[in-house]
Structure 1
Amino acid sequence: MTGPRGPRRGPVRPYVLTGGRARPRQRLAVETLLETVDPEGTDLPVTASRQERMLWRMCRHRLSVAESAAHLGLSVSVVTILACDLIDAGYLVTRSQVPKAQLPDVHILQEVLDGLRRQLSA
């Protein structure tokens, strides 16, 4: 659309950045860490978007999906789609997050509680 001073410029729509895709090819949690593969010896193809280049450069230092989105000023869903494209092309890798702590068995906790109660009442 044009105005009195030429074409109107505004923020780029997310579907333009993602090539029309609304869902990533794989699931990435917001805390998933992204890291560049061989940052010194590889360069992105000329067809890579500005946002993909910025994401790739930032991930030379390991960053989570959420941190990357904040630095780029984009939504997490858009960054996830861009990251998946770079992962599929072999330019980024994911590093697994710290595994969640396993909760102890409820029966063991009950036995400990019963033992403590017996000691207090004795």
Structure 2
Amino acid sequence: MEDLTEDTVLRGPVRPYALLGGQPRPDRYLDPGVLLTRSARPPKDHTLRPFHAELLSCWEGTGDVVLSVTEIAHGVGTTLQQAGMGLADLMHDGYLISPTPKEYADGAHTKKELLHRVLDGLRAAQ
């Protein structure tokens, strides 16, 4: 059993409101299977909180790939609730969009492929 010294108590889990600047709940709730991608025109004069920057880092070096909320939460090692709140903030601020089927109807993203990607993300999160 770990000793409960002052150092270990102070290093406890980070509370959601600390990550999100005191925000008690999101503007919108995102289902774990919601697919997101970076906006083609993100805001230029906006300072990101470290947690929001970490969420956006999931797209670094991947191009404009579509990721689910579950994949992003797993990628940054946080809970679905925390990731969903942060991603909702990023959508509200214009950094992320949830593409409609028309936006990726070029054949590269079929329903079956998307379902496989969501399943792979869920399996990786276990």
Query: What TM-score do you get using the length of structure 2 for normalisation?
Result: 0.59
Name the structure 2 match of 1:77.
81
Query: Quick check: 1:91 aligned with 2:95?
Result: yes
Give the deviation of 1:36 after TM superposition: 0.8
Structure 2 unaligned regions, length at least 5: 102-110, 112-126
Name the structure 1 match of 2:16.
14
1:80-119 matches, within 5 Å, as: 80-96=84-100
* Structure 2 SS opposite 1:35: strand
Q: Deviations over 1:33-74 (max 9, x none)?
A: 1111138x766733x122211211214532100111111111
Higher helix share: 2
The ranges of structure 1 where at least 4 consecutive aligned residues each deviate by more than 6 angstroms after the TM superposition are none
Give the deviation of 1:96 after TM superposition: 4.7
Name the structure 2 match of 1:45.
46
Structure 1 unaligned regions, length at least 5: 99-122
Q: Percent identity, aligned pairs only?
A: 30
CA gap 1:73/1:14 in 2 versus in 1, 3 angstroms: same
Q: How many residues of Structure 1 are paired with residues of Structure 2 in the alignment?
A: 93
Higher strand share: 1
Give the deviation of 1:9 after TM superposition: 3.0
Q: Larger Rg: 1 or 2?
A: 1
CA gap 1:93/1:44 in 2 versus in 1, 3 angstroms: farther
Q: Deviations over 1:89-110 (max 9, x none)?
A: 1111013575xxxxxxxxxxxx
Provide the rounded CA distance (Å) in 2 between the counterparts of 1:12 and 1:79.
13
Query: What TM-score do you get using the length of structure 1 for normalisation?
Result: 0.61
